[in-house]
Each structure stands twice: as structure tokens, then as C-alpha cells.
């Protein structure tokens, strides 16, 4: 299997990046909702946020890597039978998911660093605070983080539904070529 | 004659009936603090404070039982020097979105034999109002170096957090009560 993409299908790097970002993002969403309700004596009380921060940083790096890889690796041609509005809709959803990831990363960083504490990425290194936030701004940023989480899950559901429609109803290669089948 | 007028004028200054003066708590220059502490796991004390509050009181050293105080606290200003914990306190415990304000309004003051005052009042937190008693001692009073007049008090009390409808059962048995320290300086108006 090729590393780079061809006009027909995706290469290994693109496929792995796509699915890693997909699975990690869903995992972070569930982990995030779960961890905020943990009790103080729970084993995961400190571990869950530790993982959430570290994995969140990894996802952000992977998304940056995808943006760098895309012009290098090229992109399979659009499947011509698909109507133009669907191409447009797909593009809009892709870009909104990119936007949501950036918002999630930035707001996540701001929540942790709101009072000057650094953001620890696993036990590897700390990202220092850039600015201090007022309580009102900090609460707004928290809400934005949560809403962006819901937003990206809604977009991902649309995206998955579209892929499944292509696979089972149009019976074209859209999903297969992202699965190396 | 002049002497008599002067004497009369002076006497009127000194024998004026004792009147409670009104004070504004000096939050502007931060000479007032509302601190709290709570046990962490039963191993140590965790302390924090409310950064934003305002209040007024009236006080007369000759008649301390006529004192009154009213303090409003912006609960969202809770500060334990850790952004994630403060967010957790605001969202999971204090619910500041629904109950942004806490308030203490005095109902009576009792002079104690040891010179301290027993301040009784209603304390509202998390939307629940309950009577609260805080022993208060005057730290000092007098003219400040900038032409004003100040008086300061220290009061300490503790209360059971669950009484105010805040569920702290998951914090463990040592952390069911919180200690409040009020360090208040007022500027006479």
C-alpha cells in the first residue's frame, strides 16, 4: 500500500490520520463529559483530566499534521456521480469540523491556564499561560468548549451518515477508499 | 464672652448624643477580606477567598448593640488559586450561574462580657437563607493618615455546607464544614 494518495484512493498516512483523529475526538468527547461529574474520591478524579489534556494536545497536533500532509500527498479525485451540492455540503462540514477542533484546543488551553497555571501535557512538558481571564470570560470559554464538543459530534454524525449513504445506497467508493478496502 | 462661646461650642461637640456612624467597607483599596478554609481529606487545610464583595455597616463604639451590617458577595469570584478547581466550585458546588450572590444581613448585635460582639444575621448562599451567628471583635479604630476615619473588625465562624443545599458528600467526612473569616475595615462616610 502507498503512503501518499492517488487520484483513486487514500494512502496509508491519510487513512491513519483520519481514523486516529476520529477515534480520539469521540473518545475525548465521552471522557470530557464523564470526568466533570467524577467524585473526589474516584480513582480517575485526577487521571481523567490528565489524559483529556494530553490526548487533546495529540489530536490538535494530528490535525495540524493532516493540514501539512494534504498538499504533499495530494487528494483522490471527487467521485463524479455525486451532485455538486453534496460536494459543497461535504466541504462545509469538513471545514466546520476543522474549526471546531481549533476552538476546542484553544478553549481547552484557556480553561486550564485562566489563572496563570500552565497546561501540563502528560508528564512531558508544560505549556505556560498566555493570559489571565476574568471569571465571566472564563465561564464563557468553558461553555464554548462544551458547545464545540457537541457541535463537532453533530458534524461527525452528519459526516458518518453521508459516508454510510454513499456506501450502502449509492454503492460508490467513498467509504471504501478511506478504509483501504 | 468669647471664652463662653468657645466653651459652649466645644461642649456641644463633646456632649453630642452618641450617634452610629455609617461606614463603607473598603473593598476599593482591598482592606477587607472574606476568606474561607476547608479540610482536604482530613490531612490539611485548603484556603480560598471571595475576591468581589461590597457592603456597608453602621457602628458606634458607645452603643455597639445598635450596629448594622449588610454585605453582598459575588460568589463567582471564589478564588483558591487554581483555575480548574475554581471552575469546579462555580459549576458543581456553588452553581453561581443560578445563585450569583451571597449575602449577610445582620439582625442584632449582643455585647459580650469579654468585649467582643455576637453578630446575628441571615446568611444567604446557594439560594438558601439561614440564621448565622458570628463572634466579632473590634481590631481598632481611629483617624487614618489621609484625612479619613476607619474602624476594623475580625469575625470567624463555621457552618455545615449541606445546610445550604450544596452536596459535598463526595468530598469526604472531614470536609463537610467550612470556616469563614471576615476581616473588615470600613471608612466612615
The answer to the question of residue A3 being in a domain is no
The answer to the question of residue A135 being in a domain is yes
ipTM associated with this complex: 0.77
Q: Are the C-beta atoms of residues B18 and B54 closer than 8 Å to each other? A: no
The answer to the question of residue A4 being in a domain is no
Which of B81, B86, B170 is closest, CB to CB, to A41?
B170
The answer to the question of residue A123 being in a domain is yes
* pLDDT 10s digits, B46-102: 999 999 999 999 999 999 999 999 999 999 999 999 999 999 999 999 999 999 999
For A83, A94, B27, the CA distances from B32, given in Å and listed in that order, are 68, 53, 6
Q: In this structure, what is the dihedral angle of CA atoms B25, B32, B174, B94, given to the nearest 10 degrees?
A: 60
* pLDDT 10s digits, B7-62: 555 544 444 445 679 999 999 999 999 999 999 999 999 999 999 999 999 999 99
- A128 in reach of chain B (CB within 8 A): no
Q: Per the structure block, which three cell numbers stand in for A65?
A: 499534521
Going by their DSSP bridges, the two strands B33-40 and B149-160 should be labelled as unpaired
The answer to the question of residue A56 being in a domain is yes
Contact state of B91 with A41 under an 8 Å Cβ cutoff? no
Contact state of A49 with B84 under an 8 Å Cβ cutoff? yes
> For an interface test with A, which of B84, B169, B176 has the most A Cβ atoms less than 10 Å from its Cβ?
B84
Mean pLDDT of B158-171: 93
Domain B18-188: give its CATH code.
2.40.128.110
The answer to the question of residue A31 being in a domain is yes
Residues from chain B contacting residue A136 (CB–CB below 8 Å): 76
- The candidate with the shortest Cα–Cα distance to B78, out of A30, A5, A138, A146, is A138
Enumerate residues 6+ apart whose C-beta is below 8 A from A108.
A53, A56, A119, A145
Domain, as residue range, for A43: 12-178
Is the pLDDT at A86 greater than 90? The verdict is no
Smallest Cα distance from B114 to chain A, Å? 42
Mean pLDDT of A44-56: 95
Query: How many domains does chain A divide into?
Result: 1
Contact state of B83 with A111 under an 8 Å Cβ cutoff? yes
Locate the domains of chain B by residue range. Answer: 18-188
The answer to the question of residue A110 being in a domain is yes
Which letter does DSSP use for residue A68 in this model?
Answer: H
Q: Cell 482591598 maps to which residue? A: B30
Q: Cell 503512503 maps to which residue? A: A3
- The candidate with the shortest Cα–Cα distance to B122, out of B100, B151, B102, B147, is B102
- H-type alpha helices, A74-171: 84-113, 135-165
The answer to the question of residue A7 being in a domain is no
Q: Are the C-beta atoms of residues B82 and B46 closer than 8 Å to each other? A: no
Smallest Cα distance from B30 to chain A, Å? 18
Is the pLDDT at A137 greater than 90? The verdict is yes
Is the pLDDT at A5 greater than 80? The verdict is no
Amino acid at each position: 500500500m502507498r503512503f501518499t494518495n492517488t487520484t483513486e484512493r487514500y494512502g496509508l498516512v491519510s487513512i491513519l490520520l483520519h481514523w486516529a483523529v476520529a477515534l480520539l475526538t469521540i473518545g475525548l468527547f465521552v471522557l470530557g463529559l464523564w470526568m466533570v461529574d467524577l467524585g473526589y474520591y474516584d480513582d480517575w478524579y485526577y487521571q481523567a483530566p490528565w489524559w483529556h489534556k494530553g490526548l487533546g494536545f495529540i489530536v490538535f497536533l494530528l490535525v495540524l499534521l493532516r493540514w501539512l500532509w494534504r498538499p504533499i500527498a495530494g487528494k483522490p479525485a471527487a467521485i463524479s456521480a455525486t451532485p455538486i451540492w453534496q460536494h459543497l455540503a461535504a466541504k462545509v462540514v469538513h471545514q466546520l469540523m476543522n474549526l471546531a477542533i481549533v476552538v476546542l484546543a484553544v478553549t481547552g488551553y484557556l480553561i486550564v491556564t485562566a489563572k496563570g497555571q500552565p497546561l501540563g501535557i502528560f508528564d512531558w512538558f508544560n505549556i505556560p499561560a498566555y493570559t489571565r481571564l476574568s471569571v465571566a470570560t472564563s465561564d464563557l470559554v468553558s461553555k464554548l468548549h462544551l458547545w464545540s464538543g457537541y457541535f463537532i459530534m453533530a458534524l461527525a454524525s452528519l459526516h458518518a451518515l453521508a459516508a454510510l449513504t454513499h456506501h450502502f445506497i449509492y454503492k460508490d467508493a467513498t467509504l471504501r477508499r478511506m478504509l483501504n478496502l | 464672652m468669647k471664652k463662653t462661646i468657645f466653651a459652649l461650642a466645644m461642649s456641644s461637640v463633646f456632649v453630642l448624643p452618641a450617634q452610629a456612624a455609617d461606614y463603607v467597607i473598603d473593598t476599593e483599596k482591598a482592606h477587607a477580606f472574606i476568606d474561607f478554609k476547608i479540610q482536604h481529606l482530613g490531612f490539611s487545610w485548603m484556603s480560598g477567598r471571595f475576591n468581589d464583595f461590597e457592603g456597608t455597616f453602621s457602628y458606634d463604639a458607645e452603643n455597639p448593640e445598635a450596629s448594622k451590617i449588610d454585605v453582598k458577595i459575588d460568589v463567582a469570584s471564589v478564588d483558591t488559586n487554581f483555575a480548574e478547581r475554581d471552575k469546579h466550585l462555580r459549576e458543581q458546588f456553588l452553581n453561581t450561574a443560578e445563585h450569583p450572590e451571597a449575602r449577610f444581613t445582620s439582625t442584632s448585635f449582643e455585647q459580650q462580657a469579654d468585649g467582643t460582639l455576637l453578630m446575628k444575621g441571615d446568611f444567604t448562599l446557594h439560594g438558601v437563607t439561614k440564621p448565622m451567628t458570628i463572634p466579632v471583635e473590634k481590631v481598632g479604630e481611629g483617624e487614618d493618615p489621609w484625612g479619613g476615619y476607619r474602624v476594623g473588625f475580625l469575625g470567624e465562624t463555621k457552618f455545615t455546607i449541606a445546610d445550604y443545599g450544596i452536596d459535598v458528600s463526595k468530598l469526604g467526612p472531614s470536609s463537610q464544614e467550612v470556616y469563614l473569616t471576615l476581616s473588615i475595615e470600613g471608612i466612615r462616610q
